[in-house]
Amino acid sequence: MDEISELWEDLKFEVGSIGNELLPKDRQEVYIGMGDRNADVLFVGNDPKLYLAEDYKVEPQSSGAFLIRLLDVVEYLPETYYITTLSKREIKIKNFNEEERKKLIDLLFMQILLISPKIVVFLGKEVAQLVENKEIDFDNERGQFKKWRGDVETYLTYDVETVIKARNDSGKKAVVALNSFNDIKNVKDYYKPSTFDYVICNPPYFPVENMPNQREKFNHNISRHELLCNLSDVVQAVRYLVKQNGKFALVHRTYRISDIISECEKNGLAIKRIRFVYSKPSSDNSKIVLVEGSISKVSDIKVEQPFYIYNEDGSYTDEMKKVYGIYE
């Protein structure tokens, strides 16, 4: 079992140790979530009926079945989303005591870190208030993208039970139901394909098998090792975002250059410029490579002059000073 799988198992175990006295022994199953664990969009709700298993299993006529139908209508691909709840059990989080609720929210943060989504969608005011630990003005904050932690953004919409009730009470044209549909559509359309003129990326360099077995350094490891995304994921994202006449730039380890070229070719991207970075002029090998490319089937690669970081005396080269904005 790899590091990430172990962490998911740890997450499930920790959730399963909370509040068992609230449930009969035959109903203590942990429902960790449903969907793709590498999804860009994470939906967080408080309704135990949102899913039954990770493989998109839901009860007929349930809130989970309704949400999946809605996602299908908006044309979400299954691999683009993941759904979880605050309690991950058959009861809502309000049934737990304050200390247990805090533990469950902390475990949700761990789950968010593992999934590493671009957007976290709060299904309902209660979810947003518990996760953000503050009072929420639902009417003013619903339907708004907000910067959250790191590069993650949040988006607040109705809980699914409220939407179903609105449909049942007022028909399909109920304002709440229509607003909910538009909210979900807004999330899908937030990052449209072929949007950017230039995409720059400094991805994790090292394969997982090269990672030291030190769990306490997990946050550090995800920035250096391909735990939550690999080179293939990065190149696919670049291809999705860059315009037809746009360009992309990538910094990576030199020994991965063949992997970079191969992944680019698979995704209709072509390398146009390569520049190898050396520590100093007397260095035998380059450890870092700078790559620029575009959407093309022709890789007419230009290898530029080496980039040196240091002079032989240990001082920065003039070119490196320009990078840091040092002007003497």
Q: What span, in angstroms and rounded, lies between the C-alpha atoms of 257 and 298? A: 17
- Angstrom CA distances, 205 to 254, 263, 325, stand at 10, 14, 26
Residue 279: which residues within 8 A CB-CB, separation 6 or more?
287, 308, 309, 310
Three-state SS for the chain is CCHHHHHHHHHHHHHHCCCHHHCCHHHCCCCCCEECCCCCEEEEECCHHHCCECCCECCCCCHHHHHHHHHHHCCCCHHHEEEEECCCCCCCHHHCCHHHHHHHHHHHHHHHHHHCCCEEEEECHHHHHHHHCCCCCHHHHECCEEECCCCCEEEEECCHHHHHHHHHHHCCCCHHHHHHHHHHHHHHCCCCCCCEEEEEECCCCECHHHCCCCHHHHHHHHHHECCCCCHHHHHHHHHHHEEEEEEEEEEEEHHHHHHHHHHHHHCCEEEEEEEEEECCCCCCCCCEEEEEEEECCCCCCEECCCEECECCCCCECHHHHHHHCCCC
Q: Are residues 283 and 141 in the same domain?
A: no
Cβ atoms of 249 and 289 closer than 8 Å: no
Q: Are residues 183 and 307 in the same domain?
A: no
Q: Are residues 62 and 166 in the same domain?
A: yes
> What's 225's domain CATH number?
3.40.50.150
R_g over Cα of the chain = 24
Q: Are residues 82 and 220 in the same domain?
A: no
> What's 55's domain CATH number?
3.40.470.10
Cβ atoms of 140 and 175 closer than 8 Å: no
Q: What span, in angstroms and rounded, lies between the C-alpha atoms of 202 and 301? A: 20
Cβ atoms of 176 and 158 closer than 8 Å: yes
Q: What span, in angstroms and rounded, lies between the C-alpha atoms of 293 and 199? A: 10
pTM above 0.85, yes or no: no
**DSSP bridge partners of 253:** 288
Q: Are residues 8 and 121 in the same domain?
A: yes
Parent domain of 265: 196-324
Q: Are residues 200 and 172 in the same domain?
A: no
Report the 10 Å Cβ neighbour count for 189: 9
Q: Are residues 99 and 32 in the same domain?
A: yes
CA 319 to chain centre: 35
144-162 burial: b if 16+ Cβ within 10 Å, else e: eeeeeeeebbbbbbbbbbb
Look at residues 172, 188, 204 and tell me which one is the last residue of a structural domain.
Answer: 188
Amino acid 299 reads S
Look at residues 188, 214, 243 and tell me which one is the last residue of a structural domain.
Answer: 188
* Number of separate domains in the chain: 2
Q: Are residues 52 and 8 in the same domain?
A: yes
Q: Which residue has tokens 């992997």?
A: 259
Q: Are residues 153 and 252 in the same domain?
A: no
Q: Are residues 89 and 143 in the same domain?
A: yes
Q: Are residues 234 and 172 in the same domain?
A: no
Look at residues 158, 188, 218 and tell me which one is the last residue of a structural domain.
Answer: 188
**Tens digit of pLDDT per residue, the chain (328 long)?**
578 888 999 999 999 999 889 888 888 889 999 998 988 899 999 999 999 877 878 888 899 988 988 888 887 877 789 999 999 999 999 999 999 999 999 999 999 999 989 899 999 999 999 999 999 999 999 999 998 887 789 999 999 998 888 776 655 445 777 777 778 777 777 777 788 899 999 988 888 777 665 554 555 676 788 876 789 888 988 998 899 889 999 999 999 999 999 999 999 999 999 999 999 999 999 999 999 999 987 778 999 999 999 999 999 999 999 999 887 7
Q: What is the pLDDT of residue 175?
A: 75
Q: Are residues 141 and 201 in the same domain?
A: no
